[in-house]
Amino acid sequence: MIDCLMGKLLEKTPELAVVGCGGVGYLARIPTSAAGALPAVGEQCTLYTELRISENDITLYGFADKDSRQMFRMLTAISGVGPKAALSILGALSPQRIALAAAGADHKAFTVAPGVGPKLAQRIVLELKDKVGRAFAGGGVDAASLAAAPAPAGAMAQASAALVSLGYSGSEAAAALAGLDESLPVQELIRLALQGIGKRR
């Protein structure tokens, strides 16, 4: 198994990267988000990889970080989500945003990814909602760590900051949190806010 590629970036497009290691250029298919995270062509890079072998194909997939690779594995374990759809989702949403959208049952968040319709989005939420917290515990903004957090006086502020870190604007976060009970745990505030955002789309 090839765990990662460490070498010179020889080529980069929104969909693929070629990394030179020991005189061999390895081509890996990547999510569009990874292209932005990689350095300029000619510089040294590390690409975390997943090798998939089928009857008619051998494909290497590359990711800028381990969280993205882990989420790719979780997404492709869902019936109906192939590598192409998983890359599309990871190109539109960070692993942490995927985790919180699944935990908050915000299936509409997944439909921003090309090729992901409402039915597939609902299946993704159903399959991931109980798994993402365990998989991403301790890493960045995730459902598990927020669920374990107490609800201090600044719970609303923490929930707002978490929503902003996921890519929502300050006004969107404020609107989603407006009217919610400030005594609720941070995780519950985020879950309800994400549900509200999903309903308004």
Q: What span, in angstroms and rounded, lies between the C-alpha atoms of 65 and 61? A: 12
Measured CA to CA in angstroms, residue 164 lies from 8, 118, 142, 157 at distances of: 34, 24, 13, 10
Q: What angle do CA 36, 166, 129 make, to 5 degrees?
A: 110
Report the DSSP pairing between strands 44-53 and 4-12: antiparallel
| Residue 49 pLDDT exceeds 50 | yes
For the segment 56-114, what is each residue's pLDDT rounded down to a tens digit? 889 999 999 999 999 999 999 999 999 999 999 999 998 988 988 888 888 888 999 99
Domain boundaries in the chain? 4-64, 67-200
Q: Which element (helix H / strand E) includes 128?
A: helix 118-128
Q: Who contacts 55 (Cβ-Cβ below 8 Å, separation ≥6)? A: none
The model scores a pTM over 0.85: no
Q: What span, in angstroms and rounded, lies between the C-alpha atoms of 118 and 122? A: 6
Coil, strand or helix at 89: helix
Task: Give the CATH architecture of domain 67-200.
Answer: Orthogonal Bundle (1.10)
For the segment 142-157, what is each residue's pLDDT rounded down to a tens digit? 444 444 444 334 678 7
Give the pLDDT confidence score for residue 110 in this predicted structure.
93
Q: What percent of the chain has pLDDT over 70?
A: 87
Task: Give the CATH architecture of domain 4-64.
Answer: Beta Barrel (2.40)
Mean pLDDT, range 4-10, rounded to an integer: 96
Residue 200 — very low, low, confident or very high, per pLDDT cuts 50/70/90?
A: low
